[in-house]
Amino acid sequence: MDREKKLREKARELLESKEVDLVIGYGWTRYGKRVAPVFITRPEDVDRLIWNPMCVNNLTLYITRKYPDVKAMGRPAVVVKGCDAKTVNVLIQEGQLKREDVVLLGIPCEGVVYRQELYDGEVTKENVSPKCVVCDVKNPPLYDHLIGEKVEEGSGFEGARNIYQEIEELDKKPEGERWAFWMEHFERCIRCYACRQICPLCYCERCIAEKNMPQWIDTSAHGRGNVAWNLKRAMDLAGRCVFCGECERACPVNIPLNLINQKLSMVVEESFNHRPGYESEGHPPLIVYSLEDREDFIR
């Protein structure tokens, strides 16, 4: 079963029939053997499309309103892994996209690497992306065309680091230690905003970090500004983040953003019984409420 071949066939078919104008997928770069997003518009170029465990990017980023120039290229087909497909559900739920605006080429996936440079021909418990260890969408929950056979759900990465366990361990520590842990990380933040730029769900037209009348978040990369930035961003993704892991991967200083985002996902699931990305109906949990919401902390 050669997914790459099937993917190219399907892409060619879609482009030839003009069902789509553009296929957004993965391809090799010229040097260093890295994988990068590619934009294929001509049937004769479909052989540039590839699929392997280095295909880490969440390509749905390019069908958000952040990319008017990609939009101008016409109707897109996007290659999605399960976790990426969840993003599409949230985008639809938030009115950013209509289901018919995009053709999804869903790829049953057996896990990708955490960072491309760690890949050595095999995904192992050492180099696997933490999202894949706890993944339950190896077969995309949403697609128009499934590329190849379905795979078995379930981890298969026994012994790999488990993000939920790490969160629990952090939870058990005394406050002061948690504060020290996060401050050590946040103080290293260089405020490049790669985390925001790569996140398909960070699509605000003007980010609060860029509003300066008043200046809510100091733009300086000092502790004060960095804490405000990282807490605010985590809060704004609560109940929306699909754990595609892109923010942490893009962060040039290795801030463990997955920990903070998934902590809030756990809180949202416990409190409101909501898991983002599994359906496109309804509303994101933080823009609605229930009369039953707990208030044991309110006096």
Partner 1 sequence: MEEKGWEPRIVAFVCNWCTYAGADLAGTSRLEYRPEVRIIKLPCTGRIDPLFIIKAFEKGADGVLVSGCHPGDCHYTSGNYHARRRWIVFRELLKFAGIDLRRVHFSWVSASEALKWRDLINEVIETVRSAGPFEAYRRLNP
Partner 2 sequence: MIIKRNDLKRLVEDLIGQGKRVIAPIMRMGLVEYGEIGSFDDITWDYINPRNSFKEFLFPQTEAIARYRIGKKDVELEGVIPELRETIVLGSRPCDAASTASLRSVFTWGAEEDPSRFRDDFYLMREGVTTVMTIACLKGDEDCFCTTVGLTPESPEGSDILLKETVRGNFAVTPVTERGKAFVEEWRDYITDEREDLKEIEYPEVLEGIDTGKIGARLSDVDVFDDPVWQEVARKCIGCGACTFSCPTCHCFDIVDEATGYEGERRKNWDACQFEYFTLHASGHNPRDTQFKRWRNRFLCKFHIYPTKFTSTGCVGCGRCIRVCPVALDIREVMEWLSR
- Residue 56: partners with Cβ closer than 8 Å, 6 or more residues away: 35, 112, 113, 115, 116, 129, 246, 249
Number of residues that bind partner 2 (CB under 8 A): 42
Give every CB contact of residue 221 below 8 A, 6+ residues apart in sequence: 189, 190, 191
Q: How far apart are CA 97 and CA 85, in angstroms?
A: 13
From the list ligand SF4, partner 2, partner 1, none, partner contacted by residue 81 (C-beta under 5 to 8 A by kind):
ligand SF4
Residues 6+ apart with CB under 8 A from 50: 4, 25, 26, 27, 28, 35
Is residue 197 within the footprint of partner 2 (CB under 8 A)? yes
Q: Which amino acid is at 126?
A: E
Question: Which listed range, 96-104, 119-127, 213-221, 236-244, lies at the site for partner 2 (CB under 8 A)?
Answer: 213-221
Crossing angle for the helix pair 175-186 and 223-237, to the nearest 10 degrees: 100
Q: Is 182 a binder of ligand SF4 (CB under 6 A)?
A: no
Taking CB under 8 A as the rule, does residue 253 contact partner 1?
no
Minimum CB separation of residue 256 from ligand SF4 in Å reads 10
CB burial of 24-50 (b: ≥16 within 10 Å; e: otherwise) equals bbbbeeeeeeebebbbbeeeebbebbb
Q: Please give the DSSP secondary-structure letter assigned to residue 251.
A: -
Pick 220 or 254: Cβ nearer partner 1: 220
Nearest distance in Å: CB 293, ligand SF4: 23
Euclidean distance between CA atoms 270 and 86, whole angstroms: 19
Tell me the per-residue interface mask from 71 to 90 with ligand SF4, x by CB under 6 A, - otherwise. Answer: ----------xxx-------
Choice from 11, 20, 255, 268 touching ligand SF4 (CB under 6 A): 255
Exactly one of 21, 39, 110, 156 binds partner 2 (CB under 8 A); that residue is 39
Residue 212 touches partner 1, criterion: CB under 8 A: no
Q: According to DSSP H, which parts of 155-252 are helical?
A: 163-172, 175-186, 194-198, 223-237, 246-250
Cβ 94 to partner 1, closest distance in Å? Answer: 17
Which range of residues in 25-33, 56-64, 150-158, 178-186 is near partner 1 by CB under 8 A?
178-186
User: Which range in 69-77, 88-96, 126-134, 170-178 contacts partner 1 by CB under 8 A?
Assistant: 170-178
* Bond preceding residue 141 cis, omega within 30 of 0: no
When the beta carbons of 221 and 227 are compared against partner 2, the nearer one is 221
The answer to whether 243 contacts ligand SF4 (rule: CB under 6 A) is yes
Query: Of partner 1, ligand SF4, partner 2, none, which one does residue 132 interact with (CB within 5 to 8 Å by kind)?
Result: ligand SF4
